[in-house]
Chain A
Amino acid sequence: MSIDLKTIKHISKLSRISVDEQKADKLADDLNSIFKFIEKLNELKTDNVEPLTSVAETNLKLRTDEVKSKDIRDQIIKNSPQDNEDYFVVPKVIE
């Protein structure tokens, strides 16, 4: 299997990372060498193996749904890249 430039463009769109032509070439090379390395997994038959999703073999705990952090709006806004007192500001979405 090989990852072509079209696939790189597709993944870059899915991951919301813009990629120019030069970078796309380099990424295709890198990803191909990494996937060649990963192909080794196909040696193993795994039809009857249960997938392991977490090593912590305990069920997630239930807890009461209560508010613990109150009045932290200022804290949440504090690191926003564009200053605004009440909202996160983004480029215009609706024309």
Chain B
Amino acid sequence: MRRLPSETAHQPAVATGLAGQSALHDSAWKHVRGEARYIDDLPEPEGLLHAAVGHSQHAHARIVAMDLSAVRSYPGVIAVVTVDDVPGHTDIGPVFPGDPVLAGELVEHVGQPIFAVAATSHTAARKAARLAKVEYELLEPVLTIAKALEQELFVRPTNTHLRGDPDQALAAAPHRLQGQLEVGGQEHFYLEGQACLVEPTEDGGMFVHTSSQHPSEVQKLVAEVLGLPIHAVQAEVRRMGGGFGGKETQAAALACVAALLANVTGKAVKYRLSRADDMVQTGKRHDFFNTYDLGFDDQGVIRGADIMVAGRCGYSPDLSDAIVDRAMFHADNAYFLDQARVTGHRCKTHTVSNTAFRGFGGPQGMMIIEKAMDDIARYLRLDPLEVRKRNLYGEGRDITHYGQRIEQHVLAELIGQLETSSDYQARREQISAFNAQSPVVKRGLALTPVKFGISFTATHLNQAGALVHIYTDGSIHINHGGTEMGQGLYIKIAQVVASAFQVDVSCVAVSATRTDKVPNTSPTAASSGSDLNGMAALDACEKIKARLIEFAAEHWSCKFGDVRFENNEVVMAEQRVSWGTFVRTAYMNRISLSSSGFYSTPKIHFDYAKGHGHPFLYYANGAACSEVLIDTLTGEYKVTRVDILHDVGQSLNPAIDMGQIEGGFIQCMGWLTTEELVYSPEGRLLTTGPATYKIPAISDTPADFRVQLLENSPNTEATIFRSKAVGEPPFMLGISVWCALRDAVASLTDYRFSPPLDTPATPERMLGAVNAAHSWLAAKQEDR
């Protein structure tokens, strides 16, 4: 018999790093030492080639002729491929067709890949890719939402959620307001650009190292493009240098291009995007144009609503159907709309195909109702917080416009707590006093809630798998279908496994996500990572535990109920055995120490034809109170204090959750303030790097930033240890900054005028709002 690991002396000790503790990110020490490997850091296979693509120079055109001879003859170039070299599928649309792996005759956005190059260096590939001579026949581009709405040019059909008779309710309401808002897009700006490394295998397949949130889709699409069965391709993701939704579908196109080049050359191919290429070539958050028509009573309580949301999808559907759905599902945010119609349009434009980004349309939908809350407040001369509170969902007003009943009402109390802890009312008064005596600099304040539905709205994606192995020294290895993009999923899953066996989290290793370990996985998206994969991991642990308990009861002659896992030991009535010894004993008695696990989310369903159902298992909630300072001469501003109270249920890891909340908030603040995507009139992106596209820098973080987790609020649904998803919901807390900026401008009119403020609220747009407030005042003067 081979030798088993020997017993080391042990003392029972309370297991450390279990779920609920602030265990460190599993890669934290590797991060700070520069040892964490991203795709471009991996050891390079011999003969590695580097890929780049040639871009369409026009938004909408037919390619009449393409002369690639200069590309082919550039020093270092080994291969050049076009769509004609694709052996399998040429369309890699993730849900609906429409995304050619390389454009054929028709190009539909500036920067669309039209051919690909493999060369001996990254620079050679990029330089060569610029040498193509392409003749275009120009077609009329549609570049704006307005134009697409006018032409009814959509990538997917328009749909509606309807409850009751909103037209009648609007007509009958004591007050009625209409408004509109342009909501800007957002570049993901993950610090690690898109990247993959594809190696041909000895069986004619491909092994793909990818920086992707969706390795199973990368695997499937690479197989389809090469005309291979899926099992011939494996995809692996150890970590991403940020994802935020930008690597849900967008990573696949790179992997497919690299695989084509690897297929043609027989060599490993690395394809990583320079920042400018990444910004030009890959999709972003959808910009939206939204309108509302609301009827309300003297108290500001909404009686009827007619809301329209229109997202700019770009040239193809990608995930836009579901993204606009989610905008529609969140056009109510936390408020009961009563009689309501919500219409969603999916506008086609000749721009890059927009894609998933943290919140997935939800933030854009929420913006219109949060604007409306402020508008109602100014109209009725109420404090906006009061209007928000009056419109919250509650008992008896708990059915959404899409028919889901809200079962856990967290927000009224949560907002009350935050109103007190942030000292909202006293600060409101201080701010009014300050503004009255400060002619140039004004302060603004806003407290806004978030209610965010948790589950993929594409019901079939709500499933996950995991694979747990216990080795004979007691160490445990887990793979699951989720990917690590910095959000701390790996450590949370390790904590779940450690908790299942009550052993130190250091006993548990999580390794790279691989399609040959756990198959057919869903993307790590929709905030679902720990909900789905945590439950799948727990399922695998429970299966092993059931075997172990049965074995232990027999081996140590006790009842099933007497077997307990605690303190790095297993206790059988009066007997205690160290975890390692217990595992070895089970092994010697031929008990399987490995299991897969599976989870599918219960209860959820949705009828898209009727626009009615129960798409979410539960809602995550939070609220934020932001204070800003603005300069009415230039429109510049500063966020000075932020208080947040957020509901993560029973936290799996409070420190990791705090990081998601703070990071999400700042990312949303950037989206609504300084992050501006500017296009030329021809549809060419002008903001192609951090020199012109400004994500928040360190001094944008408010000097006074107070974040709390809501206490004693376990999820009422049976989620993993009663936690709540935390990836996306806190993002929308940043809407409070935009409302506070408007509040500061409204102070110029003694809060009687609700200024227009499309997003991002750059200093320039802020000065526009200030100008509008001054014009309104001047008009009032004339009226007198």
Do A and B come together as binding partners?
no
